[in-house]
Structure 1
Amino acid sequence: MKKVFGIKKDKAPAATLNEASDWINKRGESVDEKIKRLDGELAKYKEQIKRTRPGPAQEAVKARAMRILKQKRMYEGQRDMLYNQTFNLDQVAFASECIKDAQQTMSALKTANKELKGMMKTVKIQEIDNLQDDMMDLMEVSNEIQECLGRSYNMPDDIDEDLMGELDALEADMGLETEGEGVPSYLQPDNEPDYEELNLPSAPTGHAIPARKVNNHVEDEFGLPPVPRASLRG
């Protein structure tokens, strides 16, 4: 049977986008090499046309240059077509990568959603409210305990009244000392000493010492300039 119908050959796997893009890029590179070679030949023919006089020889060179130019135009068209195919493949590859990224994102979101739902099942709002109420009750009990522990022992009830009386007396004493716009009592004008009652002798008025003229200079008996009377009277 195998000899009659033969064996079915396995199909080659389809090329991926990257493989197809690489293959087209290689073809484009080979076409570019051919175009460069034709450019070199055209440059030679241009030099020959410049050096050749008009006539049959120049026409022959022009015909060869025209043939080379037609080949160059054909290869340039193929190159442009290959570039367009490469661009299309790149666009498809980019779209494919974006879809793969979206799939991975969706998968991650689904996993996170499942985990959140599982965790939310263990957390109940009513339990949180009850826990907060319990904490408030405990804080109130703790405050009551602190107040009980901070209570004073053996303190008479009228001690506050005695302390307030002493505080008022202290404030009254301080007020007497600071009368007269903040000036202490011992510095106020009413307490200044009466110098007349002290019976102190008055300051001497002094008397002038006779002066004499020596060598055109006025001097007293001690050889010093005379003191003005105003300074002696004070």
Structure 2
Amino acid sequence: MKRIFGAKKDKEPPPSINDASDRINKRGENVDEKIKKLDAELARYKEQIKKTRPGPAQEAVKARAMRVLKQKRMYEGQRDMLYNQTFNLDQVAFAAEGLKDAQQTMSALKSANKELKGMMKTVKIQDIDSLQDEMMDLMDVSSEIQETLGRSYNVPDDIDEEELMGELDALEADMDTEADGVPTYLQPDKEPDVEAELDLPAPPSGHAAVPLRPTPQAEDELGLPAVPRASLRG
């Protein structure tokens, strides 16, 4: 049967936008190369026209230049057409990419919505409120426990604060402070004034006080103090 009717040929997949854009860009590059060659040829003819005198030779060069210029205009028109096609394909590709992004975004949103619905079934506002209330109760109990543990045992409950303030004022009144604010009992001890305590009379004016010198004692042959004779006779 295949030999009689032949087998169906597999259809080639249609070209993608990127493939078509690449093919058109290559054609545009070829056209650009041809235009560059024509520009170089026109520049050469321009120099020849300047160097030749008016006449048949110059007219022949101008005719060649006109032919090259027409070819250049034709290639420029083809290049503009190819550039327009590339631009249109780029716009279509951009729109297609935008649609793909929108599809992916929608799929992601649907998946997230499904997950959120499943999570919301397990989390209820009433449970959260009750949990918050339990946490507040536990915090209050913890504060009471801390206050109970920090209670002082030796401080009586019947202390009058006004009486304590009176004792504090009396203590401040008894503290004799100097100019520098240091109590007298904290200041260093001063040496006693012996002359003020003995209250000795002042020496007479005009006479200098002569210091008293001790009378030398007699010594015996050994250097010891000599004993008076009167004491030996007795």
Specify the TM-score bucket, using the shorter chain as the normaliser: 0.5 to 0.7
Moved more, 133-142 or 2-11: 2-11
CA distance 1:18–1:179, shift in 2 (3 Å):
closer
Matched, 1:97 2:113: no
Q: Kindly state the Cα deviation for residue 6 of structure 1 after the two structures are TM-superposed.
A: 6.4
Deviation readout 1:155-214 (Å, 9 max, x if unpaired)? 8776x47x9978855652442233899786899xxxxx9x9997443476547xxxxxxx
Q: Kindly state the Cα deviation for residue 142 of structure 1 after the two structures are TM-superposed.
A: 4.2
**Alignment correspondent of 1:17:** 17
CA distance 1:203–1:89, shift in 2 (3 Å):
farther
Q: Kindly state the Cα deviation for residue 19 of structure 1 after the two structures are TM-superposed.
A: 0.6
Q: How many residues align?
A: 199
Secondary structure at the aligned position of 2:38 is classed as helix
Deviation readout 1:49-90 (Å, 9 max, x if unpaired)? 223222222222211211111111111111111111112211
Q: Kindly state the Cα deviation for residue 123 of structure 1 after the two structures are TM-superposed.
A: 0.8
CA distance 1:176–1:88, shift in 2 (3 Å):
same
Secondary structure at the aligned position of 1:15 is classed as coil
The residue type equivalent to 2:54 in the other structure is P
Q: Kindly state the Cα deviation for residue 140 of structure 1 after the two structures are TM-superposed.
A: 3.9
CA distance 1:201–1:106, shift in 2 (3 Å):
farther
**Alignment correspondent of 2:214:** none
Following the alignment from structure 2 to structure 1, what is the Cα–Cα distance between the partners of residues 3 and 87? 47
Deviation readout 1:10-69 (Å, 9 max, x if unpaired)? 443221111111101111111111111212222222232223222222222211211111
Secondary structure at the aligned position of 1:116 is classed as helix
Moved more, 133-142 or 48-57: 133-142
Structure number with higher relative contact order (C-alpha < 8 Å, ≥ 6 residues apart): 2
CA distance 1:150–1:26, shift in 2 (3 Å):
closer
Matched, 1:53 2:53: yes
Secondary structure at the aligned position of 1:94 is classed as helix
**Alignment correspondent of 1:120:** 120
Secondary structure at the aligned position of 2:201 is classed as coil
Structure 2 alignment gaps of length 5 or more: 188-192, 208-234
Deviation readout 1:87-108 (Å, 9 max, x if unpaired)? 2211221222222222222221
TM-score of the superposed pair, with normalisation by structure 1: 0.66
Secondary structure at the aligned position of 1:54 is classed as coil
Percent identity (aligned):
72
**Alignment correspondent of 1:178:** 176
1:123-138 matches, cutoff 5 A: 123-138=123-138
The residue type equivalent to 1:176 in the other structure is D
Following the alignment from structure 2 to structure 1, what is the Cα–Cα distance between the partners of residues 94 and 167? 94
The residue type equivalent to 2:78 in the other structure is Q
Structure 1 alignment gaps of length 5 or more: 188-192, 208-234
Following the alignment from structure 2 to structure 1, what is the Cα–Cα distance between the partners of residues 121 and 74? 71
The residue type equivalent to 1:38 in the other structure is L
CA distance 1:18–1:205, shift in 2 (3 Å):
farther
1:124-203 matches, cutoff 5 A: 124-145=124-145, 160=159, 169=167, 171-178=169-176, 199-202=199-202
CA distance 1:198–1:24, shift in 2 (3 Å):
same
Following the alignment from structure 1 to structure 2, what is the Cα–Cα distance between the partners of residues 185 and 55? 133
Following the alignment from structure 1 to structure 2, what is the Cα–Cα distance between the partners of residues 4 and 86? 45
Following the alignment from structure 1 to structure 2, what is the Cα–Cα distance between the partners of residues 44 and 156? 120
